[in-house]
Every structure is written in structure tokens, then in C-alpha cells.
Chain A
Amino acid sequence: MGKTLAEKILSAHGGQSVRAGQFVDVRVDVVLSNDITAPIAIREFERLGVERVFDPERVVMVNDHFAPNKDIKSAQQCRTVRRFAQAQQMPHFYDVGRMGIEHVLLPEQGLVLPGDVVVGADSHTCTYGALGAFATGMGSTDIAVAMATGQIWMRVPETIRIVYRGELQPWVGGKDLILHTIGQIGVDGARYKALEFAGEAVESLSMAGRFTMANMAIEAGAKAGLFAVDQTTLDYVRDRATRPFTVYEADADAEYVRVIEIDAGRIEPQVAFPHLPENVRPVSRVGNIPVDQVVIGSCTNGRLEDLRIAAQVLQGRRVHPNVRCIVIPGSQQVYLDALREGLVETFIEAGAIVSTPTCGPCLGGHMGVLAAGERAVSTTNRNFRGRMGHPDSEVYLAGPAVAAASAVMGRISGPDQTV
């Protein structure tokens, strides 16, 4: 039998041919952490008694979660990261003014490339699977070891292949496909496994749509969510790549634990109800749900393409008087591009606000924390109890089209009802 994409990449990085179920020490190409997880990683790194990180070019830190500093303790955490990065002379430390939401920023800067093994102390590190990299989230202690040694142990995961057939309906994007998928297989449907996304419906997606899908692989419990590298991928990395890379392909006779076929042409925009991302319904069957806040942004949907969709819905319309609509470009570059394209003007004229890049409200940090009983529609990735604020608040997950339409209507709505 042939190998899956995960088996191919982990074999190449482990210096031996490995199969699902085997344990292997792999060489890592990029090690990532942020202002929440890096302080613990730095503490554990120092316990190891190692002076220098294995390669300052390959250790990336981003102050994005509670930055710009939301309070004194966050300021101290950001300072811990800043000082470490300076002491280690890490060129890829990103602070306010240069930073973006890490999983928008790293691909944009060409730091993550096809065929890479990337480990990050952030569960949404799996986003880079969109580039055909094996990327996975870990805790701070694992990251400390990777920072010191350039290696980490992995159990090679089994792979579930999901094939999306057909042509997507209008307003349907990567977010709807992945929410639908999580609704099908459940929040632990891919626990300890990798996902491979395939089929003509996802081949038609832009990189932004693919990043959105890979980003939420973790919401099905997956270790990684991978796409095959194609012309769309190569066009994206061509002018960004900071170093050479290798493209790996799954074998035609690769062994999958499960193959799921999805008729993507029948999927309409999706909404995940509280308090699990698997509580998914098509937007036409949502009912009347008034909303207090709409968030458009995050590592899931904070790219230029996402903002264009939101702007298309908001153009010439007004955010409902009962709604606070918060738009957060995923990086300085996305912000600048959105400004130059006139999207920022559209948002502000519609009565939305536009924030500097930050993870902020997604995890109830700042820039849009919910009160008891409040409800948000959000293009983020988690709707767990208390995720965006008070434990008695509610988060409904959707793509940018539904989020923007809901902002206009003041209740959860599909874009067709608005535009």
C-alpha cells in the first residue's frame, strides 16, 4: 500500500519510512508560539539549561492574542516574549505594528511552505495544512523542546480522506464546508487523526478558503488537516517563499482509515450553534435568532478574501442599530490592502468598526467581550461555553457572508435575505 500525505512528510522529516501508528522523532522546519503560550515555553526552555534556540530563523513568536496589551499582566507576558526574542536574535518576532494574527501572518510572510513540518503552541497551527505542510498544535513544553532541539516526537496519525464533489452554491465557502464536515463527523470525529481534503469543490477554493478549512481541522479533533499542493498553492508561495521547499503527494493507493464523500453542491451557508462547533444547521433552518454582536476576522476568516465578501454584503447597507459589528483584518498587510481597496470605508460607512489585528474577542480576551445573555455571530472557530466572554453568552459560528448579513438584519440571516 502507498502512503498518505502525512506519512510522506513525516517519513521525510523522520529520516525513516514510517506508517500510521508509529512513533518517530521528526525534524521541524518552523516552531511557533504567541504571547499566551510563549511565556510558559520560555520558562520550560530555560529549565532545559540550553542557551540558544536551535535556529533563530526557524523559531517564530507573535504577540497577537492579548496584544496590543489589554492589561498589565498581558503587557508583562508580551514583554517576556519580546525580551526573549531580542536576546535570541530571532528575526521572525512580530510585535504591534508588524504583527498579524499568527496563522494569517506566517503564510503571508512566506515563513511556512509546502512539505514543512510545523509545530506551534497554538491549536490552530493546523491552518498551514492548506499549503501541503504537516502542521500541528502542541503545548508549551513540547514547543520548548522543539525550540531547543529542532526535533519533536510524533505519533504518525491515521488519515481520513474527505472528498468534496460538485460545484459550490453562491455565498458558500471554505467555512461552510468545514462546518458541515464537523457537523457530520463530530468534534471528536478525527481525534488523533489527520484529515486530507480533496475533490473538485475544494480544488476550486482560493488559498483563503483552504486556510479556513485546515484551520478548523482541530475542531474535529484532528492533528492536522492537509491539502494537496496544486497550481493555486504554488501561485501563492511563489513570491513569498523565503527558502526552497519540497512538494509531497499522497500515493494513489494510500491507506485511509475512512473515506468520506460529500456532495458539496448541496451545501448552503452553515451556522454552528452553541456550545460546540458540531451543532451545525443550514442558515435556512436557523429560525429567528436576534444578535448583539458580529465579529468578522480571526485566524479562520481574517483574510482579504473574507473581508471582500463581508464588504460585498455591507456595501450600501447599515449595520442594525442593535448590533455591534467588529471587523478585524488578520494582518497589517490585510488591513492595508482592505484600506486601499475601499473595504475599510465600506465597513465604517455601514456602521461597523475596524480594529487593528488581534485574536482579541475570539477567545474573550478584549475588543468585544460578551455580557451575560448576549449573543454573537462570529467568523471565528470555537463556540464553547464562555469562549467570547460571560459563561451565559452565546457564540454562533458562520462564514463572513452570513456574519455580515446578520449584522445588517440584527438576527442570524443568510446573505440572500439581505442582498
Chain B
Amino acid sequence: MILQGKVWKYGDHIDTDVIIPARYLNMSSAEELAPHCLEDLDADFAGNVQPGDVIVAGENFGCGSSREHAPLAIKGAGVSAVVARSFARIFYRNAINVGLPILESPAAVEGTDTGHRLEIDLEGGVIRNLTTGETYQAEPYPPFMLEIIKAGGLIPYTIEKLRN
């Protein structure tokens, strides 16, 4: 699968409270959550993000709460993937489970700025910066996780497993 979009770049430790503030946790659908995604960090984001856009961030993206509302809000906003130096553990699982592609690549984060265009080959983990012409290789997924991704998330994976 090839993804393409404009970059929204943020710093380290982007926590789930700024990804989707708790005052919106009285709702749980991606459509309801998306208009509030990142609003306390970047008021321009939710109104201007285009389908396919990519969030690029530093260390420990998604730290804090276990709220699955965070990857749901990002996905609902139309973001095609998140590229970071590293991800917090619970967010990493949640993103895979809900089918939000995430890639670890410190080099891509280093070489990318807001407004650049990225093209991501998800299968091979190859990230191309179409603005600068540079190419980066993301960390490969553990094989076990790749099975969940290929199944389309944890629920379809588990349905398949229960059937067998």
C-alpha cells in the first residue's frame, strides 16, 4: 500500500491528552473525535488536515493514557500514517489494533519538516520525502505484528483465530 500526504511535524512526548483532550472522552466514534484532534497543541490542525496527510513527531509519541480515542481521532481526521522516532507502548498497540499505520524512523523525522510531502510504501517500510528527494527505511514490524496488520487489525485477526 502506498500512502501520500503533507507533513504536520511536532516534537517529543506528544501525549494522548493533547491528541484528544479528556473533555471529549464522553464520545467514542472517530467521526465525533476527529474535529478535536490535537486542538490544544495546534488549533490549525483539525480544520486544515487533508486526507492522506502524515504526522511526523519525535520521541515517545502517544505517551500517557490508554485511550484508544487517540489513534481513532487521528485516523478519523484523515491522517494516513504517523512517523516518529519512537512510540509509547500502549499507543503502539492501539494504533496497530485500529489499523492506523505507524512507522519508527529517526532519520525520516530528522529530514522532514511541516509542509513537506511524504510517500510511504507501507509493505517495505520505505519513506520518501518528495520535497527533498531523500529516502528513509523505517524499523520493520515484528513478524507477529505484521500478521495483525495484514489481517486488518486485531478484531479480524482474532475472528480468524477463533474460527480455526
- Residues on A close to B: CB < 8 A? 23, 36-37, 39-40, 43-44, 47-50, 65-66, 70-71, 73-74, 77, 120-123, 125, 137-142, 144-145, 148-149, 153, 155, 187-188, 191-192, 218, 221, 223, 276, 363-365, 369, 382, 384-387, 391
Contact = CB atoms under 8 A, between A and B. Distances in A.
Contacts of A365: 22-23, 25
Given A276-B13, A363-B22, A387-B17, A137 B144 contact: no
Nearest to A392: B40
B117 to A, nearest CB: 29
Nearest 8 A-B pairs (CB), nearest first? A73-B26, A139-B94, A363-B22, A139-B68, A391-B40, A141-B97, A188-B60, A123-B66
A140 B68 contact: yes
Interface string B21-62: 111011110000000000011000000000000000001100
B132 interface: no
Contacts of A39: 28
A142 B41 contact: no
A364 B40 CA distance: 13
B150 to A, nearest CB: 15
13 contacts: A23-B144, A40-B72, A48-B158, A71-B26, A77-B26, A121-B66, A139-B90, A141-B154, A142-B93, A155-B142, A188-B86, A191-B86, A218-B64
Contacts, number: 133
Contacts of A145: 154-155, 158
Contact of B88 (A77, A121, A122, A191): A191
A123 B64 contact: yes
B15 interface: yes
B98 interface: yes
Contacts of B90: 123, 137-139
Contacts of B60: 187-188, 191, 221
B153 A141 contact: yes
Contacts of A44: 155
A226 to B, nearest CB: 16
A385 B40 contact: yes
B162 A48 contact: yes
A8 to B, nearest CB: 21
B136 to A, nearest CB: 21
Given A23-B144, A123-B65, A192-B89, 5 more contacts: A71-B26, A139-B71, A141-B154, A218-B64, A387-B17
Contacts of B63: 187-188, 221
B142 A23 contact: yes
Contacts of A387: 17, 22
B1 interface: no
Contacts of B71: 139
Contact of A139 (B17, B26, B97): B97
A93 to B, nearest CB: 19
Contact of A74 (B17, B26, B144): B26
B17 A66 contact: no
A148 B27 CA distance: 24
B64 A386 contact: no
Contact of A141 (B13, B17, B94): B94
B17 A386 contact: yes
A140 B17 CA distance: 17
B141 to A, nearest CB: 12
Contacts of B3: none
B67 interface: yes
Contacts of B23: 364-365, 369
A391 B38 CA distance: 11
A227 B17 CA distance: 29
A191 B91 CA distance: 12
